[in-house]
């Protein structure tokens, strides 16, 4: 005879309830802890200024994150990301000390319709900048440092709390991939906070195609004028990568930055008649063979005459710099000890024209028209 519910074992009762629950079996959730850390010894030089040896990190920015997702059934998924940046050499956190300064957001995704994310979000322009950096996307690659010097929205910089890599108070829609094509649309509210604290009001769009060894990407950003907070600027960039086979990959990108100049770092009053467009072109190549990867990059920035010898708007100290034309190159080598741990060595050089002071290290600027170099070697571990 069938047993009554009261006589069922706890395990059998749980199985019975699960079988008749309309949501049972359809829901599952996971939380993942992840991150990456690197440490290097380096020599930093600013010609006409000084040189020094340091123990630091930042071949790629450090991270410590928690990512969760839950299957809600019917093709619907919810999740979150909480991610900070531990500074390995000091034990502090980046982004002005915010514990989750890199990302803090919730998202909802419908299969075949895309994902909507709300909170503090990595920008499409950051993903673009990382993708088209061939030699480590923070420490030595000229792409990020040139983008930073002119005030572009498309840079991989993660140490500061200023806008460039991510923005607070934002909504972003990410499409699914259709025949190799996808796009992202982000809008931030601003909410009255200072631009320098990641509170900018901005619109950013990213679009790309990937297939048959070819990647093509486009990003666009528009920052409106807000009195006493931010100056208007418009940025766009296009890039392409092609896998040649045999471990070789070629990449090229072009950046346009239209903005205004200011008299002092973080200024919100533009210099009269200082509107102009700065143009940056970069090429790179990577070669991978087993545990070995070699990368090389070269880039050149031509600044507008209206910006020469002046500072870009929407960039605060210590990242604000005096502008002039600049060229740069970098070389990097990594050796994989395992899937999670790599040894690396990298060298980069930025060569300023005229009065420029672009540099790899914001607190060691070269003299005007000087050269900034960085030689680093270290170890990187991911988990």
Residues of the chain under the 50 pLDDT cut: 1-26
Give the list of residues 6+ apart from residue 8 with CB closer than 8 angstroms, or none.
16
Domains and CATH numbers, the chain: 34-382 (2.40.160.10)
pLDDT over 70, % of the chain: 91
Whole-prediction pTM:
0.88
**pLDDT tens for residues 275-301?**
999 999 999 999 999 999 999 999 999
**pLDDT tens for residues 241-286?**
999 999 999 999 999 999 999 999 989 999 999 999 999 999 999 9
- DSSP code string of 41-103: EEEEEETTTEEEEEEE--SS--EEEEEEEEEEETTEEEEEEEEE-B-TTTS-BHHHH-TT-SE
CB atoms within 10 A of CB 22: 7
Residue matched to tokens 């950013």:
204
């Amino acid at each position: 005879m069938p047993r009554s519910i009261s006589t069922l074992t706890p395990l059998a009762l749980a199985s019975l309830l699960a079988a008749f629950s309309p949501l049972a079996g359809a829901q599952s959730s996971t939380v993942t802890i992840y991150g990456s850390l690197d440490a290097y010894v380096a020599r930093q030089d600013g010609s006409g200024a000084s040189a020094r040896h340091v123990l630091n990190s930042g071949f790629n920015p450090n991270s410590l994150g928690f990512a969760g997702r839950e299957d809600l059934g019917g093709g619907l998924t919810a999740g979150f990301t909480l991610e900070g940046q531990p500074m390995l050499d000091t034990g502090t956190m980046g982004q002005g000390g915010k514990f989750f300064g890199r990302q803090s957001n919730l998202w909802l995704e419908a299969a075949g319709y895309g994902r909507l994310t709300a909170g503090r979000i990595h920008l499409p322009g950051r993903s673009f900048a990382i993708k088209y950096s061939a030699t480590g996307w923070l420490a030595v690659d000229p792409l990020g440092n040139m983008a930073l010097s002119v005030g572009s929205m498309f840079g991989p910089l993660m140490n500061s709390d200023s806008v460039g890599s991510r923005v607070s108070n934002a909504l972003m829609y990410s499409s699914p991939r259709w025949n190799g094509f996808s796009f992202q649309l982000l809008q931030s509210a601003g909410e009255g906070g200072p631009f320098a604290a990641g509170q900018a009001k901005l619109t950013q769009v990213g679009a790309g195609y990937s297939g048959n060894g070819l990647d093509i990407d486009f990003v666009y950003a528009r920052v409106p004028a807000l009195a006493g907070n931010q100056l208007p600027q418009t940025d766009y960039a296009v890039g392409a990568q092609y896998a040649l086979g045999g471990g070789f990959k070629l990449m090229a990108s072009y950046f346009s930055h239209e903005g205004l100049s200011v008299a002092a770092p973080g200024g919100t009053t533009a210099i009269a008649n200082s509107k102009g467009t700065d143009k940056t072109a970069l090429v790179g190549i990577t070669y991978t063979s087993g545990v070995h990867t070699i990368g090389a990059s070269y880039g050149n920035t031509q600044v507008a005459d209206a910006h020469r010898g002046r500072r870009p708007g929407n960039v605060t100290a210590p990242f604000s710099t005096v502008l002039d034309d600049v060229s740069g190159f970098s070389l990097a080598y990594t050796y994989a000890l395992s899937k999670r741990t790599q040894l690396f060595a990298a060298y980069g050089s930025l060569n300023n024209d005229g009065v420029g002071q672009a540099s790899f290290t914001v607190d060691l600027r070269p003299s005007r028209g000087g050269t900034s170099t960085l030689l680093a070697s270290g170890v990187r571990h991911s988990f």
